[in-house]
A and B are shown apart, each in its own frame.
Chain A
């Protein structure tokens, strides 16, 4: 680092008396923010605090609610169903996120390279699955995967191979990875594509002058330049994977014994709250899940920052 020029002692900015104009601006700013703050506090902060409060109690069908301190949390971290569901989501993260982001990056780079015809149509086509409500998407895939009558099975039957059971114990994980990837690859692609569009043209010109081809430019210039956007999509995907609920819940109707009540942590918390009628335990599960997500996100961010600093 170059030495900073020695400056005369810089005085801290003094708070000046607000002029009427400044005060009006100040009031206007708060008035515009208050609606958001009200909704934010009412819809996010208050339920969160209430949830935390609930998690400190235990309730029984016979006996009602009693204060129990951290008992729920102790039970949660030793609950084999919860731990296996978190482990399953960790595995999901390690498998699905790289596949999805690699695809999204590939598509974004391909679109950016101007070598593709019908760019706008392809962009829309890849993005449309994100716009399809996940309820519709999962029902559609539930049908496609159907063992006896789904189109995929019919296709296999037509070419003479046996019908694959895509919703069995062994294959459900892959099927779920497929659905989630299909849904979100468009979303991530748009984020990365937007980031690619902001790369200063001089960098690309310089690379071209140096004789780099399209692939080399992509690998050495474009990807490093959009590193913050890639990190953003990674963080979003981590949070999304651990919170996976919609897709397993809907597949439950199609494959009720393969997707159990504790397939994902969120699904487990939902069932504990509404089927087992144990809202307090569910609240503690939700908090622990939140903490796990925070830790994983933080670790990912830290390791990326450290990698950058060490360059």
Chain B
């Protein structure tokens, strides 16, 4: 019927017009704040106005620290939401930012992703609220991660790499002292394999963060970003090849397992004693004390093995800060929130002692209740003292690329896959370099190597 066709055309026309109208809508990029510093009067006014702000973070039991903040500023109500950890949260955050709504006021962002959010102008420069004065209170290399032509976040925790090991299994294998060099580590791995049914540790195929931590310790500087259009990608350098060949060797000899981490199978591996160790940072107990509770008390921590005898260098794996989004309608309140929980003495001590987040605030690192803490999980060892020492040996300058989402996801397809399939890791490393360079060029960056 002709009228039916006309109706269909009309509906189709409506649809096209609506779609084009929507296409013309661009997401709001922020409330266009003026660039001057914010006065104390403005801050006081904002903190005395009843406001509700949203805070996305995956730190467990965060509500305890937030409660301290709400006690100090009763007019501000904070909704803490856990939308997922790491990459899962960033995916949702990017979608919300692109859509122009649904994004929170404050958000937890790991240091390596800060530049990717700066690229889209999503982060608020906190120096106008006085954050630049906080720099001296934090550990140097961590402050470098959040400040670069402005202050983009307040550091919360870091992950200086150590070596966690099961005292009982190592004893059974005949290893008396934790290995001081990677050569010793390999020899111990053989002892563990020969005398026990465990592996000295597991090298997962899906954890680029750990591998980059190893690169960091080996002195490699695989990433660089000038803040504008130029990136440096040097994943296939002599230092990284050294690391990769080492692990390739251990895998080929069957001295380490290659299970994916942070899933059920992996936690069961700890519970059953399949893994006698984990080269991991101070936050490891956050995960182990829950899912591998049965092993509590049997762990000890040591410094990570060195490449050259006598060296004392570590790398970092993980750690995040909190940032304020430029799209937030309550920037002052959000800033005061993240400043409080990451700067207030009681709050930071709680993070450190109750939640095992390794602190970045110098005063917390020096606080006796933190330093002298005897951890039950580590059989009474004063681990914090050890990790504070390690934190000082982390290389100060380490940069990231402004698209770490892609870098990490392509790891799983290249080097990670080689680890998991137990094939040539060096080829996996080269493939990873190729993939990342291709992506950078496709996105319009100038690539130097």
Please give the residue numbers on chain A whose beta carbons come within 8 Å of chain B beta carbons, in ascending order: 37, 41-42, 45-47, 49-50, 53-54, 60-63, 142-143, 146-149, 169, 253-258, 260-262, 271, 274-277, 279
Contacts and interface: CB of A to CB of B under 8 A. Distances in A.
Nearest to A81: B413
A253 B263 contact: yes
A275 B405 contact: yes
Contacts of B413: 260-262
Given A46-B19, A49-B19, A261 B263 contact: no
Contacts of B38: none
Interface string B397-427: 0000011011001101100110111000000
Contacts of A260: 412-413, 417
A258 B15 contact: no
B421 A148 contact: no
Interface string B13-45: 011101110110000000000000000000000
Contacts of B264: 142-143, 146, 149, 254
B268 A276 contact: no
A37 to B, nearest CB: 7
Contacts of A49: 15-16, 18-20
29 contacts: A41-B14, A49-B19, A50-B22, A53-B23, A54-B23, A60-B443, A61-B444, A62-B229, A62-B443, A62-B444, A63-B444, A142-B264, A148-B269, A148-B274, A149-B264, A149-B272, A254-B263, A254-B264, A256-B206, A256-B412, A256-B420, A257-B205, A258-B420, A261-B413, A275-B406, A276-B405, A276-B406, A277-B406, A279-B98
Interface string B51-81: 0000000000000000000000000000000
Contact of B23 (A50, A142, A257): A50
Interface residues of B, number: 46
Most buried by A among B95, B205, B402, B444: B444
B226 to A, nearest CB: 12
B306 to A, nearest CB: 29
A277 B403 CA distance: 9
Enumerate the 5 nearest inter-chain pairs by beta-carbon distance, A residue then B residue, closest first: A62-B444, A257-B420, A49-B19, A256-B206, A60-B444
Contacts of A50: 19, 22-23
B268 A53 contact: no
A285 B444 CA distance: 21
B246 interface: no
A142 B205 CA distance: 18
Nearest to B1: A15
A50 to B, nearest CB: 4
A46 B265 contact: no
A275 B91 contact: yes
Given A254-B263, A260-B413, A274-B91, 4 more contacts: A146-B264, A255-B260, A256-B206, A276-B409
B18 A257 contact: no
Nearest to B26: A65
A135 B15 CA distance: 33
B362 interface: no
Contacts of A169: 421
Contact of A53 (B19, B94, B272, B421): B19
Contacts of B443: 60-63
A274 B98 CA distance: 11
A300 B439 CA distance: 39
A37 B14 CA distance: 12
B269 A256 contact: no
B404 to A, nearest CB: 10
A50 B269 CA distance: 48
Given A60-B443, A147-B265, A148-B269, A53 B20 contact: yes
A37 B229 contact: no
A279 B22 CA distance: 15
B309 interface: no
B445 interface: yes
A274 B94 contact: yes
B205 A256 contact: yes
A280 B63 CA distance: 39
B1 to A, nearest CB: 9
A152 B18 CA distance: 53
A97 B260 CA distance: 31
A256 B260 contact: yes
A274 B272 contact: no
B6 interface: no
A165 B419 CA distance: 16
Given A255-B260, A260-B412, A260-B413, A37 B94 contact: no
Nearest to A259: B412
B15 A46 contact: yes
Contacts of A142: 264
A180 B390 CA distance: 49
Contact of B268 (A149, A254, A271, A275): A149
Given A61-B402, A147-B265, A277 B94 contact: yes
A50 B16 CA distance: 8
A133 B264 CA distance: 20
B43 to A, nearest CB: 34
Given A53-B20, A60-B442, A254-B265, A271 B409 contact: yes
Contacts of B95: 274
B134 interface: no
Contacts of A254: 260, 263-265
Interface string B259-303: 110011100110010100000000000000000000000000000
Given A261-B413, A274-B95, A45 B15 contact: yes
A46 B18 contact: yes
B238 interface: no
Contacts of A53: 19-20, 23
B373 interface: no
B260 A148 contact: no
A257 B268 contact: no
Contacts of A149: 264-265, 268, 272
Nearest to A281: B442
A257 B421 contact: yes
Interface in B188-219: 205-206
